[in-house]
Structure 1
Amino acid sequence: MEQPSYELNTLFDQLGLPSDGKAIDDFIMAHPLAPEIKLVEADFLAPHQKALLKEWMRADGEEALLVDELNVRLHGGK
């Protein structure tokens, strides 16, 4: 059983998405990405969401770690 993703709630809040653990897990299960698709190219994200993800990746701090975690989980990682 997967652990709830409470650490991602800040990112999901900033993306304007439901951010409780179950909602995050449901989002990830509903939006798997193929290995060749980059997170910032996902068709289920709005342009402003993609821009935020790019900004957070460039921050190269805790924000980048959260984006990386989301990326890994959407690509089938735990």
Structure 2
Amino acid sequence: MEHPVHPFSELFEQLGLDADDASIKAFLERHAPLPSAMALHEAPFWNPAQAEFLEAALEEDADWAEVVDHLDASLRKR
């Protein structure tokens, strides 16, 4: 059974990315800020499977939606 709330690092694991604190920080620094008009899943650095997962998580309001929103907000800061 899945948890209803996922930690930020677990989202990175789900996306097939390194999930330690230093790797997450480096990812955010490398890719932020996203343009305000660009949807998170449209960012050019996602592969098709990652983009599909992110889009579906938000569209379906899945248990991943909250942490995907957190990722979106983190990539818009700079």
TM-score class, shorter-chain normalisation, is 0.7 to 0.9
- Residue number in structure 2 paired with 1:4: none
C-alpha displacement at 1:27, in angstroms? 0.2
C-alpha displacement at 1:61, in angstroms? 4.5
Q: Normalization by structure 2: what TM-score? A: 0.81
C-alpha displacement at 1:58, in angstroms? 3.0
The higher-RCO structure (CA 8 Å, 6+ apart) is: 2
Structure 1: runs of 5 or more not aligned: 1-6
CA distance in structure 2 between the partners assigned to 1:23 and 1:65 by the alignment: 21
Deviations 1:26-62 (A, max 9, x none): 1011001111111110000001000111222134244
- Residue number in structure 2 paired with 1:69: 70
CA distance in structure 1 between the partners assigned to 2:51 and 2:66 by the alignment: 16
| 1:44 aligned counterpart, secondary structure | coil
C-alpha displacement at 1:21, in angstroms? 1.3
1:13-52 aligned at under 5 Å gives the runs 13-32=13-32, 33-52=34-53
- Residue number in structure 2 paired with 1:3: none
Structure 2: runs of 5 or more not aligned: 1-6
Q: How many residues align?
A: 71
Structure with greater proportional helix content: 1
